[in-house]
Amino acid sequence: MSQPIHNFSARRLRAGRPSTPRGCRGGRAGFTLIEVLATLLLMAIVLPVLMQAVSAGLHTADAARRKTEASALAQSKLSELVATGDWQTSATSGDFPDHPDYQWTAAVQAWGDGSVAQLDVSITWFDKGSDQTYVVSTLVYPGVTPTSQVTAANDAAAASSSTGTGTSTGTTAGGGK
């Protein structure tokens, strides 16, 4: 037996019609004007704050990079001056050809009873409107050749346990945030 045509067409219409989600009027899905405006307002508040946070993070990373470079340059220059003995006879300032933003200065000052001197190497660079400085120091023996510096340091360490030789690093000075 065959079914009537009207039942077939009614079933076909129901099967082909898309179902509408609950809460949507007229079968249309989308955002209302108020929802779009609220989203735009929220983005207008959040995006500038987010961009400022990213900018501050980049500035901090750049400052850390520059301080790390200064530290490596200072330690390298200090080692060079001690190894060659140039701290006793040569120039006490200069720059780095590979790092033109940094300048160095060496200063010697008496330490203790005068048989030992303190050699300070300062690295200076300009960052965000002010000069920044990083200083490393070590103790050296004036009038002693570079090859006998180690022997003199070992003798002094053995003779006196209250004062020793060594290198102190990490003194930073200067303005900035």
Q: Around 177, how many Cα atoms within 13 Å sit in the side-chain half-sphere? A: 9
128 occurs within a structural domain? yes
Q: For 80-110, how does the pLDDT look when each residue is reduced to its tens digit (9 = 90+)?
A: 998 888 888 877 899 999 999 999 999 998 8
Total domains, the chain: 1
User: Is the pTM of the predicted complex or chain greater than 0.85?
Assistant: no
6 occurs within a structural domain? no
Instruction: Residue 137: name the closest of 116, 121, 153, 115 by CA.
Output: 121
Q: For 38-86, how does the pLDDT look when each residue is reduced to its tens digit (9 = 90+)?
A: 999 999 999 999 999 999 999 999 999 999 999 999 999 999 998 888 8
130 occurs within a structural domain? yes
pLDDT above 50 (res 166): no
The residues pairing with 46 across neighbouring beta strands, listed in sequence order, are none
Q: Which domain, by its residues, includes 64?
A: 50-174
102 occurs within a structural domain? yes
